[in-house]
């Protein structure tokens, strides 16, 4: 069930396409806010931290580790306790603990979260056998909501300390199959954190396809959607315009997707003609074969060097991190952009894009949410990840781009998006 009604709303999803001015609105909002209003701004990258510090006319503090041994986590607690304006990264904010929650409840902060965050993570270091043993030996129990509780008070240290600590902090959930056999355990970001702020703004696009949307629905967190509009030099929050209602003709004109010509000796899309082509499991097989790797790398080289005739500095390419070394095309060692890149303008000079990936939600994660009555749209998730990556390029500045996506599934999702079919 989606909670989009206007009552009891605290979480504002600013859902607008990349380049529409979400971050600019956030900076403007903080600059114009009364001096007494306090902000915590969380962004994926440290270079965006610097942008906020230099752009906003208030004294933002960035948590630091120091030579005395104080960690960033300890420092952010001190900053919250002092009521400072804080700017930091997703990776630090994900480490929120009960003390931070208590401190936030004592203050009146506004949270601005630039892009969705990793709020659910499968703990794959623990096997099904590990979980079954803990379950059958009455070391853990699972309540009706799926939360794991640790029952062995005399367990002090050992292999299962991490499970014990997360269970005791209320941040561990288990996915069981239909026969109630344990399948996987999940760390979940403390949901009560989102009750500690006066206002919350999450800057993103296609929130409906994101895992954080499923997480909010799982924990019953209410949220509303807003869009960004620009009037003169001012950015304003506006009534939500669904992504499916957007006018995309201008974007479509800027995206030149590779398709083979009749005169081509080789159809470079055939290497991705299966639905699962370029998924993690498919690339595990492809990268084991020397000749197959050579063909993939040659296709990428042929695309940017001969089809597009651009210098390497204008190229950005990606694949899943574990295959980066094996699939790096000739001349593109320094042109890799992470497959989950978002919220950065560092690559907005790139004109030519090569996408060696096919994004799927972890099926166990999807089933985990399904068992709780929350659905994850895998195609929308994949499309949102692809669009985030594409919009790191110069298309965000209104300039045309060349795109090579050999995965039939990912290419089809992009085509449907550009034609307003999804």
Residues 306 and 358 in one domain: yes
Residue 418 has pLDDT above 60, yes or no: yes
Residues 226 and 184 in one domain: no
Q: Does a structural domain hold residue 33?
A: yes
* pLDDT confidence bin for 180, thresholds 50/70/90: confident
Query: Looking at residues 257-273, what average pLDDT do you find?
Result: 90
* pLDDT confidence bin for 87, thresholds 50/70/90: very high
Residues 259 and 345 in one domain: yes
Per-residue confidence (pLDDT) for residue 9, from 0 to 100 = 44
Q: Among residues of the chain, what percentage have pLDDT more than 90?
A: 62
Higher pLDDT, 410 or 174: 410
Q: Does a structural domain hold residue 73?
A: yes
Residues 377 and 311 in one domain: yes
Where do we find the tokens 């895992």? 211
Task: For residue range 348-357, list pLDDT tens digits in order.
Answer: 999 999 999 9
User: Domain count of the chain?
Assistant: 3
Query: Looking at residues 205-223, what average pLDDT do you find?
Result: 93
Last residue of some domain: 142, 164, 188? 188
Residues 321 and 280 in one domain: yes
Query: Looking at residues 385-406, what average pLDDT do you find?
Result: 94
Could you tell me the two tokens for 331? 């001349």
* pLDDT confidence bin for 313, thresholds 50/70/90: very high
Residues 157 and 225 in one domain: no
Q: Environment class of residue 337 by beta-carbon count within 10 Å: exposed (0-12), middle (13-18) or buried (19+)?
A: buried
Residues 263 and 388 in one domain: yes
Q: Does a structural domain hold residue 1?
A: no
Residues 67 and 130 in one domain: no
Query: Looking at residues 90-115, what average pLDDT do you find?
Result: 93
Q: Does a structural domain hold residue 396?
A: yes
The vertex-38 CA angle with 194 and 118, nearest 5°, equals: 35
Residue 343 has pLDDT above 80, yes or no: no
Q: Does a structural domain hold residue 197?
A: yes
Task: For residue range 186-205, list pLDDT tens digits in order.
Answer: 999 999 999 999 999 999 99
Q: Does a structural domain hold residue 3?
A: no
Q: Which residues of 174-188 are buried (b: 16+ CB within 10 A; e: fewer)?
A: bbbeeeeebbbbbbb
Higher pLDDT, 333 or 243: 333
Q: Does a structural domain hold residue 6?
A: no
Residues 110 and 229 in one domain: yes
* pLDDT confidence bin for 304, thresholds 50/70/90: very high
Long-range contacts of 218-222, Cβ-Cβ distance < 8 Å, separation of 24 or more: 218/369, 218/372, 218/374, 219/191, 220/3, 221/3, 221/11, 221/191, 221/194, 222/3, 222/5, 222/7, 222/8, 222/9, 222/10, 222/11
How far is 205 from 86, CA to CA, in rounded Å? 24
Per-residue confidence (pLDDT) for residue 244, from 0 to 100 = 78
Query: Looking at residues 23-47, what average pLDDT do you find?
Result: 91
Residues 162 and 301 in one domain: no
Residues 62 and 76 in one domain: yes
Q: Does a structural domain hold residue 206?
A: yes
Residues 168 and 255 in one domain: no
CB 11 within 8 A of CB 223: yes
Per-residue confidence (pLDDT) for residue 4, from 0 to 100 = 34
- CB under 8 Å to 200, separation ≥6 — which residues? 10, 11, 12, 110, 111, 112, 113, 194
Q: List the domain range (segments joined by +) for residue 160.
A: 121-188
CB 310 within 8 A of CB 354: no
Q: Which residues of 144-160 are buried (b: 16+ CB within 10 A; e: fewer)?
A: eebebebeeeeeeeeeb
CATH number of residue 270's parent domain: 3.40.50
* pLDDT confidence bin for 323, thresholds 50/70/90: very high
């Amino acid at each position: 069930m989606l909670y989009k009604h206007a009552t009891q709303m605290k979480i504002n999803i600013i859902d607008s396409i990349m380049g529409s001015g979400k971050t600019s609105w956030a900076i403007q909002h903080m600059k114009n806010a009364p001096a007494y209003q306090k902000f915590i701004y969380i962004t994926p990258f440290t270079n965006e931290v610097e942008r906020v510090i230099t752009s906003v006319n208030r004294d933002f503090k960035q948590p630091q580790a120091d030579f005395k041994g104080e960690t960033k986590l300890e420092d952010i607690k001190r900053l919250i306790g002092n009521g400072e304006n804080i700017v930091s990264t997703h990776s630090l904010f994900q480490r929120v603990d009960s003390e931070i929650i208590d401190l936030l409840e004592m203050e009146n902060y506004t949270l601005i979260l630039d892009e969705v965050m990793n709020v659910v993570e499968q703990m794959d270091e623990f096997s099904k056998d590990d979980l079954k043993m803990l379950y059958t030996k009455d070391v853990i129990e699972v309540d009706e909501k799926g939360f794991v509780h640790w029952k062995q008070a005399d367990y002090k240290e050992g292999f299962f300390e991490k499970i014990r600590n997360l269970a005791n902090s209320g941040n561990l959930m288990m996915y069981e199959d239909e026969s109630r056999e344990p399948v996987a355990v999940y760390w979940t970001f403390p949901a009560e954190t989102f009750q500690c702020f006066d206002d919350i703004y999450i800057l993103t696009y296609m929130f409906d396809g994101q895992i954080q949307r499923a997480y909010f629905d799982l924990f019953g967190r209410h949220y509303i959607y807003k869009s960004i509009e620009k009037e003169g030099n001012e950015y304003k929050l506006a009534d939500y315009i669904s992504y499916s209602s957007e006018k995309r003709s201008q974007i479509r004109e800027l995206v030149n997707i590779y398709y083979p010509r009749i005169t081509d000796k080789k159809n470079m899309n055939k290497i991705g003609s299966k639905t699962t082509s370029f998924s993690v499991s498919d690339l595990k097989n492809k990268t084991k074969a020397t000749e197959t790797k050579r063909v993939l790398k040659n296709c990428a080289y042929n695309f940017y060097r001969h089809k597009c005739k651009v210098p390497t500095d204008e190229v950005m390419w990606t694949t899943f991190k574990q295959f980066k070394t094996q699939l790096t095309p000739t001349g593109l060692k320094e042109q890799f952009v992470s497959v989950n890149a978002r919220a950065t303008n560092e690559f907005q000079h790139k004109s030519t894009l090569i996408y060696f990936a096919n994004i799927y939600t972890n099926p166990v994660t999807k089933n985990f949410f399904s068992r709780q009555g929350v659905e994850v749209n895998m195609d929308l998730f994949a499309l949102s990840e692809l669009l985030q990556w594409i919009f790191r390029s110069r298309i965000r500045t209104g300039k045309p781009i060349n795109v090579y996506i050999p995965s039939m599934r990912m290419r089809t999702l992009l085509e449907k998006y550009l034609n307003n079919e999804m």
